[in-house]
Chain A
C-alpha cells in the first residue's frame, strides 16, 4: 500500500508534535464561511473536556480557493475563560494542508488516518466543515466512548426533521441493519469517532483509488467497522444543521454515490452478512431530547411527476430488474391519484433487494443501474411524506422501524438469489 505523501512542512510539523492522544479531522473544500465556527467548537470541546490530553486538529483541504486554510490558521478562542473554569494544560496544535490523491472526502479522511498513525493517536474524530449546529459537546461525545469506554467506532445520532435524511431512512439504514444485524441509525452521518487502531485498520484496505476515496467513505467506514467486528456505539449529538447545500448537487448523483458504495460493500462482505438474521440494538451515549418540528415545504406533486415520468421512460429497465410481478405493482402505483399514492413497504424492500441483486449480477453498467432507481426512490419518498404528513416524530420513526423489520424479514429472498 502506498501511503499518501505529505509535504515537507507537514512532516516538520508532525515531527515537532511527536505524539498526540486525540486527532480531530475536518475535511474541507471552500468552506471559509463556516469552518471558523467548527474549528472554534472543536477547540473549545478539546479544551473543556480533554484538558489533560494532547490534541491535534487536522484540516485536510481539497484545494479550496476561498482561503479556508487561512481561516483555520487564524481561528482561535481569545477568551477561554468564557467557557472554561480552569486553563488548559496541554495546548491544541493545528495542522492545515491540502491533501493529495483523488479529490474527495475519502482522500481527506485518508490523510487524517495517516496522521493519526504518525502521531500514534488513541482516539480520533471527524466532523464536517459546514456544520452550523456543532457544539463543544460533540467532541466529548465522539471521543470519550473511544478514550474511556473502550469502543472502536462511534456513529452519530441526530435529531432531524422527519422528512430529512430520506436516503438514510429508506435505503441505507434499513439495508445496513438487515445485512449486518446492528441498528446503527445514521450510518452515513458524516461525523464519527474512532480509535487509533481502527484508523490503522482502515489504512490497510486498498480502496483509495475507488469511489470510496470520494463520497462512499461514510458508509465504507461504518460498514468496515461493523463487518470486521469492531466495537460500535452511537452518540446523540442533537440537531444537525449544515450550510445550505450546493444547488448543483444532483439527487441522482448523490443517490448513485451512496448506494453504489453500499452495494459494493455487499459484494465485499457477502460471507459476513449471509448468516446474520435479525438485528440487535447498538448502545447509545448522550442525552436524548426532542426538538420542535418546523414546517418544511415539499412539493410532492413534482416528485410524483418524476416518478410517473420515470415509469413512462424507464419502464423497460425496471421490468428487467424487478420482474413482471413487481413491475405490475409499480405500474399500478403510477395510475393512482396524488392523494392516494402509497408505496407499500414490502414492494420497496423488494425494489432495493432487486437492485442490489442486479448490481451484484452486473445487469447494467453501475451508473445507469443506480441512477435508474432515482424515480423509484423519489416515489417512495413522496409516499412517505404524504403518509407522514400529520405524524409526530415518534410515529414517523415507527414507520421507519416497520420498514426495517420488512427488510429483515425479506432477507431470505436476497440471500437465496445471491450467487
Chain B
C-alpha cells in the first residue's frame, strides 16, 4: 500500500522539486520583464526628447520620411514613431533575456539565435534608411536635370531610377537579413537583367522608329538652339 502511495507521490514530489527549482527562475524573469518595461518607457522618453531637441521631425519632413509614413497611414509624429520602435525593441530584448532566465534549453537556443541576428537587423535597417534617402535624392536629381533640359519623359525616367535603386536596395537588405539568399540573388539577377533586356528589345525592335525620331528631334533641336538663342542670362 505504501509502495502504491509512493508510486503516486514520487512523481508529484519530483514535480514539486522541479517546480521549486523553477520558481526562482520565473521570479527572475518577471523582475527582468518589469525592469525592462520601466527601462523601455524611460529610454523611449529620452529618445523622443532627444529627437525633438535635434528637430528630427522637420528633418524627416525634408527627407520625405514623413510623407512616406503618411502614405502608409501613420499620422503620428516621426519622433514618436521612432520612440515607439525603440520601445518595442527594448521590450523584445527584455522578453528574450527573460526567457533566458527561465533556463529552458529550447528557449536558450532561440534566444542565442535572436541575439546573433540583431546586428544583421540593425545593418539592414541602416541600409534601408540610407538607401531610401539616396534613391530619393538621385531620382530627384534626375527629374530636375531631365526636366530642365526640356525632356518630355523626365518623370518616367526619375521614377525608373527610383524603382531600380529601390530594387537594388531591397535585394541588399534581404541579403543582409539572409532571407533565402540564393533566391534573392537569382530573383534580383532575373529582374535587373530582365529590365535591361526588355529595354534593349523595346528600343531595339519596337522603338527603332521612335528612337530615330527622338534622336533626330534632339539633333535638330540642338542645332536650332545654337543658332537661335543669343541672349545672355547673366
A positions within 8 Å CB-CB of B: 160-161, 163-168, 188, 245, 247, 251-252, 254-255, 258, 296-299, 302, 305-306, 309-310, 312-314, 317, 362-365, 367-368, 371-372, 374-375, 381, 385
Which residues of the other chain, A, contact B227 by a CB distance below 8 angstroms? 297
Chain A, residue nearest B137 (CB): A365
User: Given contacts A166-B233, A297-B229, A312-B147, could you give 12 more A-B pairs where the C-beta distance is less than 8 Å?
Assistant: A161-B231, A164-B231, A245-B232, A251-B148, A254-B233, A258-B234, A298-B231, A299-B228, A302-B228, A310-B148, A372-B144, A374-B144
State whether B233 touches A375 (Cβ < 8 A): no
Per the bound structure, the CA–CA distance linking A163 and B141 in Å amounts to 30
Which residues of the other chain, A, contact B137 by a CB distance below 8 angstroms? 365, 368
Which residues of the other chain, B, contact A297 by a CB distance below 8 angstroms? 227-230
Per the bound structure, the CA–CA distance linking A130 and B197 in Å amounts to 49
State whether A163 touches B155 (Cβ < 8 A): no
From A163, A252, A254, A372, contact of B231 by CB (8 A): A163
Residue B150 is within 8 A (CB to CB) of chain A in the complex:
yes
From A299, A309, A317, A374, contact of B152 by CB (8 A): A309
Whole-angstrom distance between the Cβ of A365 and the nearest chain B Cβ: 7
Residue B151 is within 8 A (CB to CB) of chain A in the complex:
yes
Within 8 A of A (CB), among B130-153: 137, 140-141, 143-148, 150-152
State whether A167 touches B148 (Cβ < 8 A): no
Which residues of the other chain, B, contact A362 by a CB distance below 8 angstroms? 62
Residue B48 is within 8 A (CB to CB) of chain A in the complex:
no
From B154, B229, B230, B232, contact of A313 by CB (8 A): B154
From B148, B158, B230, B232, contact of A374 by CB (8 A): B148
State whether A252 touches B148 (Cβ < 8 A): yes
Which of B137, B147, B224, B228: most chain A Cβ within 10 A? B147
If over half of B's interface residues share one DSSP class (helix, strand or loop), that class is named, otherwise mixed; here it is helix
State whether B230 touches A298 (Cβ < 8 A): yes
Within 8 A of A (CB), among B105-160: 137, 140-141, 143-148, 150-152, 154-155, 158
State whether A165 touches B148 (Cβ < 8 A): no
Per the bound structure, the CA–CA distance linking A418 and B154 in Å amounts to 33
The contact size tier of chain B is 20 to 34
Which residues of the other chain, B, contact A167 by a CB distance below 8 angstroms? 233-234
Whole-angstrom distance between the Cβ of B63 and the nearest chain A Cβ: 10
Which residues of the other chain, B, contact A161 by a CB distance below 8 angstroms? 231
Question: Contacts A362-B62, A368-B141, A371-B145 hold; do A164 and B152 have CB atoms under 8 A apart?
Answer: no
Per the bound structure, the CA–CA distance linking A310 and B146 in Å amounts to 9
Chain B, residue nearest A251 (CB): B233
What string of 1s and 0s marks CB contacts (under 8 Å) between B207-234 and chain A?
0000000000000010011111111111
State whether A309 touches B231 (Cβ < 8 A): no
Whole-angstrom distance between the Cβ of B170 and the nearest chain A Cβ: 24
Whole-angstrom distance between the Cβ of B82 and the nearest chain A Cβ: 20
Whole-angstrom distance between the Cβ of B24 and the nearest chain A Cβ: 56
State whether A305 touches B150 (Cβ < 8 A): yes
Per the bound structure, the CA–CA distance linking A313 and B155 in Å amounts to 5
Per the bound structure, the CA–CA distance linking A371 and B142 in Å amounts to 11
Per the bound structure, the CA–CA distance linking A168 and B148 in Å amounts to 20
State whether A247 touches B226 (Cβ < 8 A): yes
Whole-angstrom distance between the Cβ of A329 and the nearest chain B Cβ: 20
Whole-angstrom distance between the Cβ of A375 and the nearest chain B Cβ: 6
Which of B140, B144, B228, B233: most chain A Cβ within 10 A? B233
Chain B, residue nearest A166 (CB): B233
Which residues of the other chain, B, contact A309 by a CB distance below 8 angstroms? 147, 150-152, 154
Chain A, residue nearest B231 (CB): A163
Question: Contacts A298-B229, A299-B224, A363-B62 hold; do A313 and B234 have CB atoms under 8 A apart?
Answer: no
Per the bound structure, the CA–CA distance linking A167 and B233 in Å amounts to 5
Per the bound structure, the CA–CA distance linking A163 and B234 in Å amounts to 11
Which of A298, A313, A317, A381: most chain B Cβ within 10 A? A313
State whether A302 touches B151 (Cβ < 8 A): no
Chain A, residue nearest B221 (CB): A302
State whether B234 touches A168 (Cβ < 8 A): yes
From A245, A255, A258, A368, contact of B140 by CB (8 A): A368
Which residues of the other chain, A, contact B225 by a CB distance below 8 angstroms? 299, 302
Which of B140, B155, B234: most chain A Cβ within 10 A? B234
Per the bound structure, the CA–CA distance linking A313 and B141 in Å amounts to 12
Which residues of the other chain, A, contact B152 by a CB distance below 8 angstroms? 309
From A254, A258, A314, contact of B147 by CB (8 A): A314
Per the bound structure, the CA–CA distance linking A313 and B151 in Å amounts to 10
Whole-angstrom distance between the Cβ of B58 and the nearest chain A Cβ: 8
Question: Contacts A299-B224, A302-B224 hold; do A375 and B232 have CB atoms under 8 A apart?
Answer: no
Question: Contacts A252-B148, A302-B225, A313-B154 hold; do A165 and B141 have CB atoms under 8 A apart?
Answer: no
Chain B, residue nearest A164 (CB): B232
State whether B147 touches A313 (Cβ < 8 A): yes
From B140, B150, B158, contact of A306 by CB (8 A): B150
Which of A167, A302, A385: most chain B Cβ within 10 A? A302
Per the bound structure, the CA–CA distance linking A309 and B62 in Å amounts to 24
Chain A, residue nearest B61 (CB): A363
Per the bound structure, the CA–CA distance linking A104 and B113 in Å amounts to 57
Whole-angstrom distance between the Cβ of B16 and the nearest chain A Cβ: 68
Whole-angstrom distance between the Cβ of A126 and the nearest chain B Cβ: 16
Interface pairs (21), CB distance under 8 Å: A164-B231, A168-B234, A188-B234, A251-B233, A254-B233, A255-B233, A258-B234, A299-B224, A299-B228, A302-B228, A302-B229, A306-B150, A313-B146, A313-B147, A317-B140, A363-B62, A364-B62, A364-B140, A368-B144, A371-B145, A374-B148
Closest 6 CB pairs of A and B: A313-B147, A313-B154, A299-B228, A163-B231, A374-B148, A252-B148
